[in-house]
Amino acid sequence: MSLCIGVKTHTASPPGRWSSKDCLLTVQIIPLAFMVSVINPVLNFANQGDVCTAISGSTLFYCSQLEADITTCQKTYGKTILLSIGGATYTEGGFSSTAAAVTAANNVWSWFGPYSSSAVRPFGTAVVDGFDFDFETTVSNMPAFATQLRTLMNANTSKQWILSAAPQCPYPDAADGPMLAGAVSFDVIWVQFYNNYCGVQSFVAGSSTQNNFNFATWDTWAKTVSRNPNVKVMLGIPANTGAAGSGYETGTFLANVIAYSKSFSSFGGVMMWDISQLYANSGFLDAVTSDLGKPASVPPTTTTVTLPGTTLTTMTTTSASPTTTSGVVSEWNQCGGSGWTGGTVCVAGTTCTVYSVWYSQCNPS
């Protein structure tokens, strides 16, 4: 996979719905979000659903316009269209057993995979190019669900299928962790470097160390833990100021983040949330496209990075103790977590805040 831009779409773009005209954008992958329930299947495409019709005997609906638009995007513009499963309103919590997970995967495949006239088909004859997982809370038996979809993809040679996930940047991800721990072969992961302490806003330009922004950690995961050693890690960013609570950056700052991320061999490109926010932000896509075409920054100094919860290591990035000369941890730096051997006392005016068993950080009191 060459460097690419993926844009998730949920709320519709002008003039009121997602359409094949969105495929004129300089993006390569478009995940349609979301399938918010799988056991009792429910789709939520925001106002796109207003032009869909109910399917008799099913909780799903048929979208004739999406059927046409997906086909046009794929065949005319060469775009990759995924169905994103999960989202913030997903509440099923996964599956009660591995058998139930396999059954659910088979159902999803029949609804959105290769066409069958006997199956319920929300997109009619249109066939998506794969599936994306965007789970925000802990889910059960998801490796079995993902593995069955992967198995079905591998057995079908009609196209190049893609399986992806969208973890939060703190490692390991609370929701996708079991799938990402070597259990499932993913092609792409869209790491959400926003709404988190490790987001894009924490990048320190010109520094040989990144104490919070952790693309290096995900590069280490890709090379030492991922079931697919060729998986690509995407830099997930908000497409506008209103798209996320934090992590939206522009100009030279964002260009430096992209140049730094490009220095890692697992880097696959940029993901943006979401397409409606992108449409409202004139010039942003062009700027990111231009940044992707620029050279990578000087690769990080090589040292050993150990991922939380594993003994696997790889030589990828620098590390330094984020403490002052007195041993007191400075603002925004790590002050605790499993395996942490650095300082645990925060500088005056800050408090050591626990984010997970793996990481605590000195935040302003």
Per-residue model confidence (pLDDT) at position 263: 92
Per-residue model confidence (pLDDT) at position 320: 34
When pLDDT is cut at 50, 70 and 90, the band that residue 50 belongs to is confident
More confident residue, 34 or 18: 34
Give me the mean pLDDT over the 202-226 stretch: 93
Per-residue model confidence (pLDDT) at position 323: 42
Q: Look at residue 212 and tell me whether its pLDDT is greater than 70.
A: yes
4-303 falls under which CATH superfamily? Answer: Glycosidases (3.20.20.80)
CA distance 7 to 29: 7
Give me the mean pLDDT over the 227-251 stretch: 95
Task: Tell me how many degrees the CA angle 340-208-6 measures, rounded to the nearest 5.
Answer: 90
More confident residue, 222 or 12: 222
Give me the mean pLDDT over the 81-106 stretch: 97
Per-residue model confidence (pLDDT) at position 363: 75
Give me the mean pLDDT over the 94-112 stretch: 98
Q: Look at residue 74 and tell me whether its pLDDT is greater than 50.
A: yes
Q: Which amino acid is residue 331, in one-letter code? A: E
Give me the mean pLDDT over the 175-191 stretch: 97
Give me the mean pLDDT over the 245-256 stretch: 96
Give me the mean pLDDT over the 35-59 stretch: 92
Residue ranges per structural domain of the chain: 4-303, 321-364
Per-residue model confidence (pLDDT) at position 328: 86
More confident residue, 344 or 179: 179
More confident residue, 99 or 295: 99
Give me the mean pLDDT over the 129-134 stretch: 98
Residue 226 CB-half CA count within 13 A:
22
Q: Look at residue 314 and tell me whether its pLDDT is greater than 50.
A: no
Q: Look at residue 15 and tell me whether its pLDDT is greater than 80.
A: no
Give percent of the chain with pLDDT exceeding 90.
68
Strand-pair category, 232-238 with 188-192: parallel
Q: What is the mean pLDDT of the chain?
A: 86
CA distance 281 to 242: 10
Per-residue model confidence (pLDDT) at position 299: 53
When pLDDT is cut at 50, 70 and 90, the band that residue 322 belongs to is very low
136 belongs to the catalytic site: yes
- pTM (2 d.p.): 0.81
Assess contact for 80 and 70: CB atoms under 8 A.
Answer: no
Range with the lowest mean pLDDT among 2-6, 63-67, 152-156? 2-6
Give me the mean pLDDT over the 228-235 stretch: 96
Q: Look at residue 47 and tell me whether its pLDDT is greater than 50.
A: yes
Of the residues 92, 136, 249, 331, only one is catalytic, namely 136
Per-residue model confidence (pLDDT) at position 152: 98
The 10s digit of each residue's pLDDT in 272-309 is 998 889 989 999 999 999 999 999 986 555 445 567 66
